Amino acid sequence: MVSLKDLPSPSTVYSAYASISASTMLLRTTINQIIPHQLQNSIASSIRHYIFTSANTSQLTLVIEEKDGMSQNELYKASEIFTSTKLHPHIDYLNISKSSKDDHLNIKFDKSETIFDFYQGVEITWRFVRQQLENVSYDEDLEDSEAERKYFELSFDKRHKDFVMNFYVPFVLEKSKAIQQDKKVLKLHSLVSRGSTIWSSVKLEHPSTFDKMAMDPKLKKEIIQDLDLFLQRKEYYKRMGKAWKRGYLLHGPPGTGKSSLIAAMANYLKFDIYDLQLMNVKSDSCLRKLLLATRNKSILVVEDIDCSVELPDRTGQQPRSSQFTLSGLLNSIDGLWTSCGDERITIFTTNNMEKLDPALIRPGRMDMHIHMSYLSIDGLKILASNYLGIKIESHSRYKEIKELMGSTEVTPAEAAEELMKSSDIGLCIEGLVEFLKGKKSEIIRNQTTKADGIEASETQIPYAKRQKTNAPTEV
């Protein structure tokens, strides 16, 4: 038995306490000076995770990586969206963003965090992990974001494995889709910088729709029917052993509405647009990474493909300025890599179809060739309705306009410009008539000049040679 006189005096206890407190404060100060704050948090998180998993040996953990091989993991994106609705007030760091055109905040975890969820009586632990990778081998195509690993850990009692896999995970997928649908915003994606393999995006707010398109009604109907058929044929493509994709080549003079048609297609399908500028692609591997980073239900657009990059010829001769091979481009749009996604559309545009390699635009790559022609009288009716709010066929100058358009070539962009010059409808119509008259006079002058040139040149050619020149071509 310990007697009272064997116990230390209060002054001795106080001195010992003061000494321990001072040592603790000194140790804490030393740790803060030597070990970075982020590393301290990481160590503390690892200790808590170790204690938690050690005390719960019956726990099963599912790991949901950000990427599935080289492509995006749809379950990771769904987890990111779902957990953003389960945030608690004790989380220290959150990553929030909002562009000037977004109607809502985008909220994500910024650092490793743990949250809890209960679903039909089952307790489920979500843990977000963000790690910087060390000893990453050098790769010229590697982005800074690829030097870190991000993933979710989904932990629960092993007894509930089948329930979580068969009911909870599908619930998370459906819930995330519903959240996305509620705030569905079409995006226009483009490359961050030259040689980049990362897409950046802005909200797509192009107002073009098929109802507003000033194009031939029959052609418009054919395009809509083709798009509808494409959306309905998932099982058909699967049965045929083909990737669920479709290619469109839009060709015609500048100003005939190729870009507006792309926007109308995106608005009709509710598909994002990926604007790929080939001059910014530095290698075949870079191109593959870009295409694998695109999502399902999307449109890949390569505008002015005839002049956006100098492609090598089919004999394998590589121009010095070319940054990737023609075979690399062909394989990306119609090779094994196309099986890595579904419901994809590829659109090429060109003003000079004859400059394109036939291998690039054959069926299977570009399935439908759409000629964007000059403005027709039916197209003008749509423009007049859109810009002036009138039925132009009821206007007193309609007959004259129709006759002028029958003998001239005017693009929708040119006619639209005339209809926008004034808020006075009469002045706009008069301006359009004068514009069409000027176009007709220009055509007549060009034809006259050309005829005079031919006649003058023929007078300088001997009669015998003129006879040979005009002879039928032998087959």
Residue-wise pLDDT for 342-392, tens only, equals 889 999 999 988 888 888 888 778 899 999 999 999 999 999 999 999 999
Contact 424, 269 (CB under 8 A): no
CA angle 402, 403, 406 (to 5 degrees): 90
For the chain, list residues with pLDDT below 70: 1-33, 35-57, 99-103, 135-146, 183, 194-196, 308-324, 335-340, 451-475
305-320 core/surface letters (b: 16 or more CB in 10 A; e: else): bbebbebbeeeeeeee
Please give the Cα distance from 249 to 228 (Å, whole number). Answer: 18
Model pLDDT, residue 432: 95
* Tens-place pLDDT, residues 60-91: 999 999 888 777 788 998 998 898 888 877 78
Q: What is the pLDDT of residue 387?
A: 94
Task: Tell me what pLDDT residue 320 has.
Answer: 47
pLDDT attached to residue 158 = 94
Written as six digits, the tokens of 17 are 């306490």
130 beta partners = 150
Please report the pLDDT score of residue 73 as a whole number. 87
Amino acid, res. 76: Y
- Give the sheet arrangement for strand 187-191, strand by strand: 199-203, 187-191, 272-275, 298-302, 344-350, 245-251, 368-371
- Pull the structure tokens for residue 345: 């559309």
Residue 18 is predicted with a pLDDT of: 61
- Can you list the domains of the chain with their CATH numbers? 38-133+144-184 (no CATH), 190-371 (3.40.50.300), 377-459 (no CATH)
